[in-house]
C-alpha cells in the first residue's frame, strides 16, 4: 500500500484541457491560467479560437490540434506540450464533447436511437478520456503527481431531458473515473468527476430554449442556472492541494438541483 501524499500548487502544474477552445472548455482554460498554471489548449477544429486564447497568454498557454479519439494524435500532442514547456503534463481535464448539442427537439428518441448515436458519444467521451489518461500516465508517474478531472453530467441522476447517447456515455465515464482512481492512487494520481447541469450558456447549450433555463432555475435551490465559470472553479478545487486526499468522487455542481 502506498504512502504517497503529493500536492503540487496549481501554478506549478502543466494542465491539458481537451476541447479547450470554446464553450465550457475556454472557461476551464481561463480559470487555470488565472491561477498561474501552464495550459495546453486542445482543439479538433477550432484552431482560430484556440490560438487566440494562447496568444493572449504567450508565456503560459499552447494551442494544439488533436482528435482525442485518435490515440496517436493524443500521444503526439503530449509530446509537443512537453517539448514546449520542458516538463510533462501533470493534470488532465477531459472536457471534449464531440458533435453534440443540447437540443431536445433534435435528440434521438427511444424508437429512433441507434448504436451509431451511442458509439459517437462513447468514442468522444470514454475513448477520448482513456487516450488522454494513458498518454499522460508516464509523465505523471515520472513527476510522482497527477490530477485527472472528468467532466460529467447530472442527467444520469435526473434525466429531465432523456439525451440517451450523451447520458449513457457520461455514466460510463463515471465508472471509469472510479476504477481509475482505485488503480492509480498508489502513483499519487487522483481521478475525479465534476457533473454539471445545463450551463448558461455554452456552445453546446446555445440551442436550448429560454423557457427550459427558466424551469431549471425555478426548481434549483439557488433559483438560477449555474454558469460555466462557476463550474470551472470546481476543477480548480480538484487539482489544488486542498483536494489531495479526494479521489474517485463525483461532485455535482448545479446549484443544488441534484443532491445525490
What confidence category does residue 218 fall into, taking pLDDT thresholds of 50, 70 and 90?
confident
Q: What percent of the chain has pLDDT over 70?
A: 93
Average pLDDT over residues 196-202: 69
**How does pLDDT run across 55-86, given as a tens digit for each residue?**
999 999 999 999 999 999 999 999 999 999 99
What is the residue-averaged pLDDT of the chain?
A: 91
pTM higher than the cut 0.95: no
Average pLDDT over residues 243-260: 90
Q: What distance in Å separates the CA atoms of residue 205 and residue 237, rounded to the nearest whole number?
A: 24
Q: What distance in Å separates the CA atoms of residue 207 and residue 187, rounded to the nearest whole number?
A: 42
Q: What does the buried/exposed string (b/e) look like for 123-141 if buried means 16 or more CB atoms within 10 Å of the residue's CB?
A: ebbbbbbbbbbebbbebbe
Q: Tell me the three state secondary structure of residue 211.
A: helix
Total residues found in the chain within this entry: 260
Q: Is the pLDDT of residue 3 over 50?
A: no
Highest averaged pLDDT of the listed ranges 108-112, 154-158, 234-238: 234-238
Location of C-alpha cell 481535464? 93
Average pLDDT over residues 221-227: 82
Contact (Cβ atoms closer than 8 angstroms) between residue 237 and residue 180: no
Q: What distance in Å separates the CA atoms of residue 43 and residue 97, rounded to the nearest whole number?
A: 10
Q: What angle do CA 101, 107, 110 make, to 5 degrees?
A: 145
Q: Tell me the three state secondary structure of residue 103.
A: coil
- pLDDT at site 73: 98
**How does pLDDT run across 113-135, given as a tens digit for each residue?**
999 999 999 999 999 999 999 99
Report the 10 Å Cβ neighbour count for 207. 12
CA dihedral sign, ordered 109, 130, 173, 34: negative
- pLDDT at site 205: 55
Q: What distance in Å separates the CA atoms of residue 101 and residue 81, rounded to the nearest whole number?
A: 30
Q: What distance in Å separates the CA atoms of residue 44 and residue 203, rounded to the nearest whole number?
A: 15
What confidence category does residue 200 fall into, taking pLDDT thresholds of 50, 70 and 90?
low
Distances (CA, A) of 66 to 16, 150, 219: 12, 18, 39
**H-only helix segments in the chain:** 23-34, 47-56, 71-85, 115-122, 128-143, 164-184, 210-218, 228-239
Report the run of H or E that residue 79 belongs to, with start and end. helix 71-85
Amino acid at each position: 500500500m502506498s504512502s504517497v501524499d503529493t500536492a503540487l500548487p496549481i501554478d506549478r502544474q502543466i494542465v491539458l484541457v481537451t476541447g479547450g477552445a470554446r464553450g465550457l472548455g475556454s472557461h476551464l482554460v481561463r480559470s487555470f491560467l488565472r491561477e498561474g498554471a501552464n495550459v495546453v489548449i486542445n482543439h479538433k477544429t477550432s484552431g482560430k479560437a484556440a490560438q487566440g486564447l494562447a496568444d493572449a497568454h504567450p508565456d503560459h498557454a499552447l494551442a494544439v490540434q488533436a482528435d482525442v479519439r485518435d490515440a496517436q494524435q493524443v500521444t503526439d500532442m503530449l509530446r509537443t506540450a512537453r517539448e514546449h514547456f520542458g516538463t510533462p503534463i501533470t493534470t488532465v481535464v477531459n472536457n471534449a464533447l464531440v458533435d453534440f448539442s443540447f437540443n431536445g427537439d433534435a435528440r434521438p428518441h427511444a424508437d429512433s436511437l441507434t448504436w451509431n448515436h451511442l458509439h459517437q458519444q462513447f468514442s468522444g467521451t470514454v475513448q477520448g478520456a482513456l487516450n488522454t489518461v494513458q498518454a499522460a500516465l508516464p509523465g505523471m508517474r515520472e513527476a510522482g503527481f497527477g490530477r485527472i478531472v472528468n467532466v460529467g453530467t447530472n442527467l444520469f441522476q435526473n434525466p429531465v431531458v432523456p439525451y440517451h447517447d450523451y447520458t449513457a456515455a457520461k455514466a460510463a465515464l463515471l465508472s471509469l473515473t472510479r476504477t481509475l482512481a482505485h488503480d492509480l492512487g498508489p502513483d499519487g494520481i487522483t481521478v475525479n468527476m465534476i457533473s454539471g447541469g445545463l450551463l448558461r450558456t455554452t456552445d453546446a447549450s446555445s440551442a436550448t430554449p429560454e423557457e427550459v433555463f427558466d424551469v431549471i432555475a425555478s426548481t434549483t435551490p439557488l433559483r438560477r442556472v449555474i454558469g460555466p465559470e462557476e463550474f470551472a472553479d470546481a476543477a480548480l478545487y480538484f487539482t489544488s492541494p486542498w483536494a489531495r486526499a479526494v479521489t474517485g468522487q463525483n461532485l455535482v455542481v448545479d446549484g443544488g438541483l441534484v443532491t445525490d
